[in-house]
C-alpha cells in the first residue's frame, strides 16, 4: 500500500487522549461512513489496509489515518472521490454513525471470533487489558506534567503582533485573489507523540504541496502565527486543513491549503532537515524581548517518561493481540474486505 496522504485523527496529548474522530464523522464531505466495531487483534487494521490497497491499485486516491498508539496500524481510511470512509470506532475513539443506515453503518467483527477462549486465556486477556490501560495512565500523567510546565509560558505582545503580521502578508501574497465562497475546514494531525517518539508525516507534505513555508518555532511563536495565517486563508475563501499540535491540540502545528498547493508549518531542526522550504525567522522577532527556548531538560525528561509508558502499553497490547489472534477467522476478515472493495469499485 502506497498512499500519498497519511494523517492521524487523534493525539496522545498533555490533556490525555484527544480525539478528532467525531469532527471527521461530521464533515460534509463524508457521505458514507462505515464504523468498525471489534476488540484488539481481530483484524480491523488489516481489513482497512486490504480495502485501501485494492482501491489504490485501481488508481483511486486514498487518505490513510494512522493510529497514534501504534503508527504501524490503521485507524481509518477515506476515499475522497467516493466520499466514503472506514473508521475504527472502538475505545478510546468510540464513534457512531450520524444516521445509521443512511449516512453510514456498522461493520461488526464479532462474527469472526470463534468464542472458544479457555479459562486461562480469559484471565490472561483481562489481566493484559488492565495492564496496558494502566500503562497509558502513567504515560498521560507524564504528559500532563509536561503540559503544566509549558502552560506558564507567555510571549511579549509586540513579538506576537510582529510575527502574525509577517505571516498574514505572506499568506495574502501566496494564496492570491479572494474567492466569494464559504471555505471548508478539516482538522487533522501530521504528527503524533507515540512509543516511537515523535512521528512526523513528512511525506504527506512533500507529496501534496509545492510551496512549503517553515515558521521557525524554537521560542514558540509559530502557533499564534499559524492562527493568523488560517484566519487570512479563510477570509480569502480558501479551503484549509488545520493540523493540530500533537501535544497541545488547541494550538496549530500546520496549515495546509490544497488549492494553492501551499503548506505552512511550525519548524524545528528535525523538520527543517526533512523539508526544504522558505524559512520565516519568527525567532528573530522575539530576540529583543528575552524570549527563552521552548525546550528544557525537565521537559525532555518528562517526554522520555511518557514515551516509556506508551512503549510499555504497546508491548502489552501486542501480547494481548497474540492471545486473541488464534481465535479470529482472518480468512473471513479478508473475504469481507474483498467484498467491500468490489462493491466500491463497481
Q: How confident is the model over 7-51, as pLDDT tens digits?
A: 999 999 999 999 999 988 887 567 789 999 999 999 999 999 999
Question: What confidence score (pLDDT) does residue 200 get?
Answer: 97
pTM here is 0.93
Q: How confident is the model at residue 285 (pLDDT cuts 50, 70, 90)?
A: confident
Q: Which uninterrupted H or E stretch holds 270?
A: helix 269-274
Classify residue 328 by its DSSP letter.
B
**Summary mean pLDDT of the chain:** 92
Could you read off the pLDDT of 225-246 as tens digits, one per residue?
999 999 999 999 999 999 999 9
Could you read off the pLDDT of 155-169 as tens digits, one per residue?
667 878 888 899 999
Nearest to 295 by CA among 144, 149, 140: 149
Q: How confident is the model at residue 292 (pLDDT cuts 50, 70, 90)?
A: low
Alpha-carbon separation of residue 281 from 110, 162, 167, 278, 295 (angstroms): 54, 11, 10, 10, 18
**Distance between CA atoms of residues 168 and 32, nearest Å:** 37
Given a contact cutoff of 8 angstroms between Cβ atoms, the answer to whether 246 and 270 are in contact is: no
Q: Output 96 or 101, whichever has higher pLDDT.
A: 96
Which residues, other chains included, contact 336 with Cβ-Cβ below 8 Å and sequence gap of 6+? 47, 107
Report the range of poorest mean pLDDT among 72-81, 124-133, 292-301: 292-301
Q: Output 201 or 23, whichever has higher pLDDT.
A: 201
Q: How confident is the model at residue 288 (pLDDT cuts 50, 70, 90)?
A: low
Rounded average pLDDT over 78-98: 91
> What torsion, rounded to 10 degrees, do the Cα atoms 27, 17, 234, 170 define?
-140
Residue 290 predicted with pLDDT over 60: no
Nearest to 30 by CA among 66, 80, 64: 80
Question: What confidence score (pLDDT) does residue 323 get?
Answer: 97
Q: How confident is the model at residue 96 (pLDDT cuts 50, 70, 90)?
A: confident
Give me the long-range contacts of 151-160 (CB less than 8 A, separation at least 24): 153/220, 153/294, 155/219, 155/220, 155/221, 155/224, 155/286, 155/289, 155/291, 156/286, 156/289, 156/291, 158/289, 159/221, 159/285, 159/286, 159/289, 159/291, 160/221, 160/224
**Distance between CA atoms of residues 284 and 104, nearest Å:** 50
Given a contact cutoff of 8 angstroms between Cβ atoms, the answer to whether 151 and 295 are in contact is: no
Could you read off the pLDDT of 129-140 as tens digits, one per residue?
999 999 999 999
CB atoms within 10 A of CB 168: 17
Q: How confident is the model at residue 218 (pLDDT cuts 50, 70, 90)?
A: confident
Please report, in angstroms and rounded to a whole number, the separation of the first and last CA atoms in the chain: 21
Output the nine-digit C-alpha cell for 300: 525532555
User: What value does the CA radius of gyration of the chain take, rounded to a whole number of Å?
Assistant: 21
Residue 78 predicted with pLDDT over 70: yes
Question: What confidence score (pLDDT) does residue 321 get?
Answer: 97
Residue 67 predicted with pLDDT over 80: yes
Rounded average pLDDT over 285-301: 70
Question: What confidence score (pLDDT) does residue 183 get?
Answer: 94
Residue 1 predicted with pLDDT over 90: no
Question: What confidence score (pLDDT) does residue 150 get?
Answer: 82
Q: Show the CA angle centred on residue 187, arms to residues 271 and 40, nearest 5°.
A: 90
Residue 295 predicted with pLDDT over 90: no
**Distance between CA atoms of residues 224 and 213, nearest Å:** 15
Tell me the helices (H) and strands (E) count for the chain, helix number first.
10, 16
Q: What are 127's strand-pairing partners?
A: none
- Mapping DSSP to helix (H, G, I), strand (E, B) and coil, where does residue 274 land? helix
Amino acid at each position: 500500500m502506497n498512499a500519498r496522504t497519511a494523517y492521524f485523527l487523534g493525539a496522545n496529548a498533555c490533556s490525555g487522549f484527544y480525539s478528532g474522530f467525531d469532527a471527521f464523522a461530521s464533515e460534509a464531505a463524508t457521505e458514507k461512513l462505515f464504523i468498525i466495531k471489534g476488540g484488539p487483534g481481530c483484524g480491523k487494521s488489516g481489513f482497512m489496509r486490504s480495502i485501501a490497497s485494492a482501491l489504490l491499485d485501481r488508481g483511486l486516491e486514498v487518505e490513510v489515518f494512522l493510529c497514534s498508539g501504534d503508527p504501524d496500524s490503521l485507524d481509518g481510511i477515506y476515499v475522497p472521490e467516493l466520499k466514503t470512509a472506514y473508521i475504527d470506532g472502538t475505545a478510546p475513539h468510540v464513534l457512531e454513525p450520524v444516521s445509521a443506515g443512511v449516512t453510514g453503518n456498522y461493520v461488526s467483527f464479532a462474527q469472526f471470533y470463534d468464542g472458544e477462549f479457555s479459562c486461562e486465556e480469559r484471565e490472561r486477556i483481562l489481566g493484559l487489558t488492565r495492564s496496558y490501560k494502566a500503562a497509558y495512565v502513567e504515560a498521560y500523567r507524564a504528559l500532563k506534567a509536561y503540559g503544566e510546565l509549558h502552560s506558564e509560558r507567555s510571549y511579549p505582545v509586540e513579538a506576537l503582533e510582529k510575527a502574525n503580521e509577517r505571516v498574514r502578508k505572506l499568506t495574502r501574497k501566496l494564496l492570491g485573489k479572494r474567492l466569494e465562497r464559504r471555505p471548508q475546514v478539516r482538522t487533522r494531525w501530521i504528527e503524533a507523540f507515540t512509543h516511537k517518539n515523535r512521528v512526523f508525516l513528512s511525506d504527506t507534505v512533500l507529496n501534496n504541496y509545492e510551496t512549503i513555508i517553515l515558521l521557525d518555532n524554537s521560542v514558540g511563536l509559530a502557533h499564534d502565527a499559524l492562527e493568523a495565517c488560517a484566519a487570512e486563508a479563510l477570509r480569502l475563501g480558501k479551503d484549509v486543513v488545520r493540523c493540530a499540535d500533537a501535544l497541545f491540540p488547541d494550538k496549530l502545528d500546520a496549515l495546509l491549503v490544497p488549492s494553492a498547493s501551499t503548506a505552512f508549518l511550525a519548524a524545528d531542526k528535525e523538520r527543517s532537515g526533512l523539508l526544504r522550504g522558505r524559512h520565516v525567522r519568527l525567532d528573530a522577532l522575539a530576540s529583543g524581548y528575552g524570549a527563552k527556548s521552548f525546550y528544557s531538560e525537565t521537559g525532555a525528561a518528562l517526554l522520555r517518561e511518557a514515551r516509556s509508558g506508551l512503549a510499555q502499553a504497546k508491548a502489552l497490547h501486542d501480547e494481548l493481540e497474540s492471545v486473541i489472534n488464534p481465535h479470529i477467522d482472518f480468512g473471513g476478515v479478508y473475504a469481507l474486505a474483498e467484498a467491500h472493495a468490489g462493491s466500491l469499485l463497481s
